[in-house]
């Protein structure tokens, strides 16, 4: 079965909803006793921490034209390789609008750290209170070449830092 972008985002939104409700399948890997992960590779380094994010309209749209949406986050994570500044740009809104149950993709996401860069994409969805949670997949460049960083971001209050949980592993 081929997943369209819209179907993939709907599937991701359903996964976010299950995770938020605490529903976990039998194959859950518990990384630190407090947060379940699914499909964490055996060689993974588990990462956790916070993201303090600012939202603005200074980005570009999905076609690269000015006037889009931009998110810039400061990542304070347990692994210095992924602690730094993360930017989400070139947004595509799949459904709704911000504050109205939106589901979106950020086609241009980058984490810049002291030693290198990670590039990838982010997908996110808002809950009924318009608080977003998201999932990101990034590929390391330079010194981080050959590594991937997969993360989940959970906001509980837009005025507070978001919780970040994820892992760094070998391969794409």
29 with 38: CB under 8 angstroms? yes
Q: Residue 75 pairs with which residues in a beta bridge? A: 51, 84
> Model confidence at 24, in pLDDT bands (50, 70, 90)?
very low
pLDDT in tens, 136-152: 999 999 999 999 999 99
Q: What is the pTM of this model?
A: 0.73
Dmax (CA) for the chain in angstroms is 46
> Model confidence at 94, in pLDDT bands (50, 70, 90)?
confident
| Residue listed under structure tokens 């990542």 | 75
Average per-residue pLDDT for the chain: 77
48 with 25: CB under 8 angstroms? no
Query: Does pLDDT of 18 surpass 50?
Result: no
Q: Which residue has the higher pLDDT, 52 or 131?
A: 52
What's residue 37's pLDDT? Answer: 56
What's residue 7's pLDDT? Answer: 36
Please tell me the least confidently modeled range out of 40-54, 90-104, 113-127.
90-104
Those residues with Cβ within 8 angstroms of residue 33's Cβ, 6 or more apart along the chain or in another chain: none
What's residue 63's pLDDT? Answer: 72
33 DSSP assignment: S
Q: Which two tokens stand for residue 113?
A: 């750290």
- Domains defined for the chain, CATH in brackets: 5-21+44-170 (2.40.480)
Strands annotated E in 16-131: 29-30, 36-37, 45-60, 66-77, 84-95, 103-112, 117-126
| Residue listed under structure tokens 């810049």 | 112
pLDDT in tens, 26-54: 333 334 444 455 678 888 999 999 999 88
Q: Which two tokens stand for residue 24?
A: 């976990």
Interval 55-71 mean pLDDT:
76
């Amino acid at each position: 079965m081929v997943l369209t972008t819209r179907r993939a985002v709907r599937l991701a939104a359903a996964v976010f909803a299950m995770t938020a409700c605490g529903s976990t399948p039998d194959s859950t890997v518990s990384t630190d006793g407090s947060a379940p992960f699914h499909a964490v590779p055996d060689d993974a380094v588990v990462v956790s921490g916070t993201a303090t994010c600012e939202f603005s309209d200074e980005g570009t749209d999905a076609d690269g034209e000015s006037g889009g949406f931009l998110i810039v986050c400061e990542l304070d994570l347990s692994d210095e390789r992924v602690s730094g500044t993360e930017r989400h740009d070139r947004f595509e809104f799949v459904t709704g609008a911000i504050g109205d149950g939106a589901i979106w993709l950020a086609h241009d996401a980058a984490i810049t750290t002291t030693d290198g860069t990670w590039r990838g994409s982010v997908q996110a969805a808002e809950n009924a209170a318009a608080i977003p949670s998201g999932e990101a997949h990034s590929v390391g460049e330079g010194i981080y070449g050959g590594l991937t960083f997969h993360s989940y971001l959970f906001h509980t209050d837009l005025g507070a830092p978001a919780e970040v949980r994820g892992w760094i592993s070998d391969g794409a």
